[in-house]
Amino acid sequence: MDFASIVIGSKSDYNVMKACADTFEAFDVQYELIISSAHRSPERTKAYIKEAEAKGAKVFIAAAGMAAHLAGALAATTIRPVIGVPMGGSDLSGVDALYSTVQMPAGMPVATVAIGKAGAINSAYLAMQILAIENVELRIKLEEDRIAKAKKVEMDSLEIEQRL
């Protein structure tokens, strides 16, 4: 069974990353979500990646704040796509996590999305786009979602235009 794996660095990341899980659920995409830390439980993190790959994980999402080494640790352990979600909450409002997530050495890519909730949602969409390469049903759902979003913009504009 193909699925996406969400790895969060600590329990405090869950409230933001729930938006990622909710997005997967809205599209009926299978996922796992675990807590594992690049610094506090590095062996657990490495072991989980191998287990998840064996079970069918096709893409990994890593959310962490501050030093935010989790996405890089995943990228060092797998050749499957890794999407990093920098978390806010630090004294630097997540900019430190953004730099740590996006500044990977050549040959160790981490696709990096926005800080916080928008990034959590976009990480799910990016993971689904990756999964949709081979999953026609998911590709159709994503195409329908794009059409619905475009129609909403048009309806919102029409509503405002009629007020003028």
- Mean pLDDT for the chain? 96
Fold (topology level) of 3-131: Rossmann fold (3.40.50)
- The pLDDT of residue 151 is 97
- The pLDDT of residue 89 is 84
**pLDDT one-digit tens code per residue, 86-127:** 999 888 889 999 999 999 999 999 999 999 999 999 999 999
Between the two ends of the chain, the Cα-to-Cα distance in Å is 52
To which residue do tokens 């807590």 refer? 35
In contact, 88 and 116? CB cutoff 8 Å:
yes
In contact, 71 and 62? CB cutoff 8 Å:
yes
The stretches in the chain having pLDDT less than 70 are none
- The pLDDT of residue 67 is 86
Contacts of 139 (CB under 8 A, 6+ apart): 132, 133
